[in-house]
Structure 1
Amino acid sequence: MLQTAVVAVRDRARLQEIVAVLLRFGLDDLVGELGLKRHTPADSGGTEAGIATATRPERVRRALEQLGPTFVKIGQLLATRADLLGPEWTQELEKLHSHVTPVPWSEIGPQIEADLGAPIAQVFMAFEETPLASASIAQVYRAVLADGTPGGRAVVVKAQRPGLSARIEADLRLLTHLAGLLEDQWPALARYQPRVVARQLATAVRDEMDFTKEAQSCEAIAAHFAGQDDIVLPRIAWECTSTRLLVQDYLDGVEGAAVATTPGLDGAVLARRGARAFLQMALRDGLFHADPHPGNLLALAGNRVGFIDFGLVGRLSERRRGQLVVLLRAIVEGSAQGVTMVLLAWSSGAAHDLGRLEATVENFVARHGSQPLSLAQALQDFMGIARETSILLPPDLALLFKSFVTAEGMLRQLDATFDVVEVAAPIVREQLGARYSLRRLRRQREAVLADLYDLADEAPQTLRLLMYRLRQGRIGADIEIHHIGWLAGALERSATRLAIAVVTAAAILGLAPHLMAMSPVWFGVPVFPALGIVAVCVGIVLLLLSFRRRRAPD
């Protein structure tokens, strides 16, 4: 409650604005379940037109657009998580757009000069004040950089919208708080780890707000394509680039839809080159463009492929790339066992219904093995399997799979007969060969031997410490016993019974001589000895029955 109060006081105005938007788009139930009704402003603005007939995903999407850049970016990232959300949600969130009314030059111009540390006319030979594009986070301008060459250097200038940082930080604080409310109040959502997902989304948004990170990603990917003239990435003008300003080469190209009508461009060649580049980024280099929509992939003269906008990139470790290669091979070969094992490896050790998982995977393999394989559709269905079987995919893979799907759709615009599996097969074989090469095996052997050497070096000291603590009686153990409550209850009942039995037996032994001396006789049989024999027989029967009592629950 204290945390709720602190958040409400710090960001009260923004919280009221968020609540008003949710109410305006018919999300009253969400406001109530999150306990935010007390933050409803006096005038929430009524309900938007057409909301009564809109689906819930559509209402959420429209609310996110109204809430601004932070929520638009979060919605776009959630659209990549088909392992969390059903297709009705991801398809709606994919419609999120971030094109907004441009900020007037009178507001953004002074900020650009402040970031440059000099007048614009001193840095650029020419600067078009009308933006090429205006998005929720930044605006893009064409310019000519005065770099000392005749005619200058054609560049684009990406400038962050003024006053954005403080608002986004407030939104991220509120997002983290709302994720905690979801996890606490809806236990069914706990397996989706809302707090973890919120932290990942916040990190992605903050990274995208820092243009120097985008520039670094661009240069790192460009280094991987050094010497490949058919793949072009813009050079960064670091002397003009800062957290809020990015200056890079202008790539003179066309989007995929215009290739067919542009002389000198071959869609089939461009599709194959673009696919090879993307697969190389993901499978070989481990650093890939995570937003390959048509506006970010350009067709350049000479059938070269240009990549721009590296605000969203994905990273895959060597181990993850190995798992991905194994998965792609399993899908292509129709190996249900291979797909199942990869899914289990990504399940973080959580318990799953193995029979159900195997049956679902076998249906998946049968469905895709009976027709020409579409890798995009296969990956979409694979994420559906993860969602149905409650397996939370690692975020890097969810982002990659979504990027695969987007890239294949864009490449088919260039060439309707394009077969991504044909392009992927040699790269997968190459990576499998590298994975099991003698050089890699030798490196793994050396790493294992080094670990064993370190273990052997530490073992004597560890054993001496263990023996010392054993002699001192100071060794501790942290043991988890399932159903410990049941066991404690059983032990308590057994102890109570034993105590009663001991006291009763002692009393009987003390009284026995006196009872025997004064025992009445019935039909010639002493009564108390006879009762004693009956009690002994009953005790034996009860003892035997006790061995048949139920065991602890499994």
Structure 2
Amino acid sequence: MALLDVLLVILLSIAGLLFLALQSWLAATVVRRVVGVPIGWPRSIAVGFVMSGAMALTVQYLFRAGTDANPNGLDVTPWVAVLLLVLAVCWIFALGVGALVFLEAAFPTGTLPSFSQIFTGGKARRRRTRRYAEVTSIAVRHGLGSRLRGFGRDDSSGQEAKTARALRSALNEAGVTFIKLGQMLSTRRDLLPAAYIRELESLQSNASPEPWESMETAIEDSLGRPLAEVFSHVDPVPLAAASVAQVHRATLLDGTDVVLKVQRPGALDQVTLDTDIILRLARWLNTTTPWGKSLGVLALARGFADSLGEELDYRVELDNMRSIEASLAQSGAFTVAVPHAHHELSSERLLVMDRLPGRPVSAAGELLTGLSASERSALAKTLLGATLQQIISDGVFHADLHAGNIFISPEGTLGLLDFGSVGRLDPATQTALGMMLYSIDKNDAAGATDALIELLDRPEDLDERALERSLGQLLTRFRTGFGPGGSQKMFTDLFSLVVAHKFAVPAQIGAAFRALAAVEGTLLVIDPTMDVVEVARSEGSRLMEGKLGFGSLKEEFQNRVVQLLPLVNRLPRRINKITDDLEHGRFTMRVRVLDHPSDRRFLTGLFQQLIVAVLAGSAVVGAIMLITSNEGPLLTGDIHLYGFFGFVLLFGGFILGMRALMLVFRRDSGD
């Protein structure tokens, strides 16, 4: 019998726990439904469990109160106990709703680790916390905490320059991911003041070489076999060492000279960790600083994270090399070499490519000195022409053409390296960019204005006449020529004009501007006497004249006619119907207001929020009037019947108020 009693107790306990779990789940479901927002299940069930326990205790207490079994407490008739139980259950439910609303407001669903992550992600979470503390201490040590919160609010030039220097020093100390973030921000002249651009442009990512033993292991892991099975020789001394990768010379078994771009062990984990921190900081700046949301720092951080993820995947770089190589070969107008990549040996962390002869422009001073002025001028024009050809005609271009990524061979030819950053433009954008250069060359302010509007994201309150006048003055100022280095002033003034008229620069257009800005510095190293804008104008005009030639225009016209054929076929029937309706007085016009679903959702949500708020306020006011009336029959010695109804009505007002509050939170998070 003892064993049966134990089994019975266990079964009753299990049944009780199951019933409690079912009751908690049911309470959580009802609460989630009432709140009207998809709150996370763990916190909902936890609140439901507390509600179930409170309800059980309340039922037990009021049962004793209604059966004369509570001598030292409340003693009421059974029907009053039932009414009080209903009211108590309602308010326990209301407090549960309030608890969920508070938790959702303080810690929105998704911001806290999940139940499984609490037990399985401890190591990664501790590592992230240490790195976050390290980055925060770097920012605080450089005095960025208070300065960044007040960024853009009546900064004097001295204070702005001081903050920019502090930001550059902090990013440099924080490591490679933050350095790359600063380099990306240095291209956004439409967002940051000139003082920040100057400081961020000086950021450089350098690192001490990784020991050869660890790099050898990384290469073999990527190849899936020993080095001796692929290479006859690999130089353990790197050609270059950056924070993310190293470059080594090697020779294949067939005698081909190649270079190996190898990602450092642990680089991906470090960048992933830092990217997560950057996104968290961006969310914080987006919500706590007056300028964070206006500049779109969260969107910038997400775009940076995506581009950096692609840059760390060498398979993407391999595809980029193929695209640039194919576009240069197809045009055939410029002799620019792209190293052949060995895709069968390359992988996500390893890139194997043929070695280009010569030296990068940044280290080719002696080689350039040996060339004549005409040869250097021809090299510079070839580089600029090939860059514009990629941007305007091909739509696929190298976006990081600094002096270290451009090689000059002993024969005086050019080669490109490092295709981790490649931009792509759609045909309409290519044409708009070409038309802007063409209009500048023809001194056509109206055409340049139209091309600029087509190229960039148009602001809502744009004054086109003022933009055309400003652009016309700019063209007139620089019409007679620029001279060596004068183009920098031209580009600076053009970008200032873009910022002054509040244009937004799309990411790919920014990449094209970055490519032109980077190649400009390289061109002046190759040929210091070159007038970059003058050559760019002539090359852009040449490319557009090719697009505007009779053959190209004829082909474009044929394409548009083909697109119009379905409309032309239906046009007589439609004209006949319109004239017939006009003749017989049946002609009508129908306009659908709020046709777009987003507009309907906005108004529906607004009216829903207004109605809920009005009902909540009315219920609370009515409840207060009933509670304070002291009218009606007594339920107990102190509680009137009207007061009881007042508490019930207050419960309804409280629930409606919580729902209205959550609707506000949901609208704010969706904006």
Provide TM-score, normalisation by structure 1: 0.73
1:267 — aligned with what? 376
What is the Cα deviation at residue 132 of structure 1? Answer: 0.8
What is the Cα deviation at residue 434 of structure 1? Answer: 7.8
2:475 — aligned with what? 365
What is the Cα deviation at residue 439 of structure 1? Answer: 0.3
Mean CA deviation greater in 209-218 or 162-171: 162-171
1:165 and 2:271 correspond: no
**Conserved in 1, the CA contact under 8 Å of 2:219 and 2:350?**
yes
Distance 1:453 1:131, change over 3 A: farther
1:437 and 2:556 correspond: no
- Any idea what the Cα deviations from partners look like across 1:432-454, whole Å, max 9, x if unmatched? 43896110121122234457879
* C-alpha separation in 1, matches of 2:384 and 2:148: 44
2:645 — aligned with what? none
* C-alpha separation in 2, matches of 1:190 and 1:292: 32
**Conserved in 2, the CA contact under 8 Å of 1:325 and 1:431?**
no
* C-alpha separation in 2, matches of 1:232 and 1:428: 25
* C-alpha separation in 2, matches of 1:198 and 1:206: 12
**Conserved in 2, the CA contact under 8 Å of 1:157 and 1:246?**
yes
Q: 1:304 aligns with which of 413, 428, 431?
A: 413
Distance 1:123 1:445, change over 3 A: same
What is the Cα deviation at residue 343 of structure 1? Answer: 3.5
SS for the counterpart of 1:243 is: coil
1:405 — aligned with what? 517
Amino acid at match of 1:120: L
* C-alpha separation in 1, matches of 2:572 and 2:354: 56
1:91 and 2:208 correspond: no
* C-alpha separation in 2, matches of 1:415 and 1:182: 44
Mean CA deviation greater in 191-200 or 156-165: 191-200
What is the Cα deviation at residue 110 of structure 1? Answer: 1.0
**Conserved in 1, the CA contact under 8 Å of 2:546 and 2:552?**
no
SS for the counterpart of 1:158 is: strand
Uncovered stretches (5+) of structure 1, i.e. residues with no partner: 35-51, 458-474, 489-554
- Any idea what the Cα deviations from partners look like across 1:495-525, whole Å, max 9, x if unmatched? xxxxxxxxxxxxxxxxxxxxxxxxxxxxxxx
What is the Cα deviation at residue 307 of structure 1? Answer: 0.6
What is the Cα deviation at residue 337 of structure 1? Answer: 2.3
What is the Cα deviation at residue 29 of structure 1? Answer: 1.1
Distance 1:24 1:456, change over 3 A: farther
* C-alpha separation in 2, matches of 1:388 and 1:100: 39
* C-alpha separation in 2, matches of 1:53 and 1:394: 26
The answer to which structure has the higher helix fraction is: 2
1:20 and 2:137 correspond: yes
Amino acid at match of 1:216: D
Q: 1:234 aligns with which of 330, 336, 339?
A: 339
Uncovered stretches (5+) of structure 2, i.e. residues with no partner: 1-105, 114-123, 152-158, 574-591, 608-671
Distance 1:450 1:365, change over 3 A: same
2:656 — aligned with what? none
Distance 1:370 1:274, change over 3 A: closer
Amino acid at match of 1:193: G
What is the Cα deviation at residue 222 of structure 1? Answer: 0.6
What is the Cα deviation at residue 111 of structure 1? Answer: 1.4
Q: 2:248 aligns with which of 131, 137, 141?
A: 141
What CA RMSD, in Å, does the superposition of the two structures yield over aligned residues?
Answer: 3.3
**Conserved in 1, the CA contact under 8 Å of 2:405 and 2:418?**
yes
Distance 1:191 1:334, change over 3 A: farther
Distance 1:69 1:442, change over 3 A: same
Distance 1:428 1:252, change over 3 A: same
Distance 1:53 1:24, change over 3 A: farther
* C-alpha separation in 1, matches of 2:572 and 2:206: 61
Distance 1:332 1:5, change over 3 A: same
SS for the counterpart of 1:288 is: strand
Distance 1:270 1:477, change over 3 A: closer
**Conserved in 2, the CA contact under 8 Å of 1:113 and 1:119?**
yes
Mean CA deviation greater in 129-138 or 399-408: 399-408
* C-alpha separation in 2, matches of 1:400 and 1:382: 15
1:505 — aligned with what? none
Q: How high is the sequence identity, in percent, across the aligned residues?
A: 30
* C-alpha separation in 1, matches of 2:570 and 2:212: 63
Q: 1:82 aligns with which of 185, 189, 205?
A: 189
What is the Cα deviation at residue 108 of structure 1? Answer: 2.1
* C-alpha separation in 1, matches of 2:276 and 2:447: 41
SS for the counterpart of 1:102 is: coil
1:393 — aligned with what? 505
Mean CA deviation greater in 372-381 or 117-126: 372-381
Amino acid at match of 2:416: F
* C-alpha separation in 2, matches of 1:72 and 1:445: 51
Distance 1:65 1:423, change over 3 A: same
Provide TM-score, normalisation by structure 2: 0.61
Q: 1:193 aligns with which of 290, 296, 301?
A: 296
* C-alpha separation in 2, matches of 1:17 and 1:112: 31
Mean CA deviation greater in 9-18 or 303-312: 9-18
* C-alpha separation in 2, matches of 1:161 and 1:14: 19
What is the Cα deviation at residue 355 of structure 1? Answer: 5.5
What is the Cα deviation at residue 331 of structure 1? Answer: 2.1
* C-alpha separation in 2, matches of 1:53 and 1:87: 10
1:71 — aligned with what? 178
Distance 1:432 1:395, change over 3 A: farther
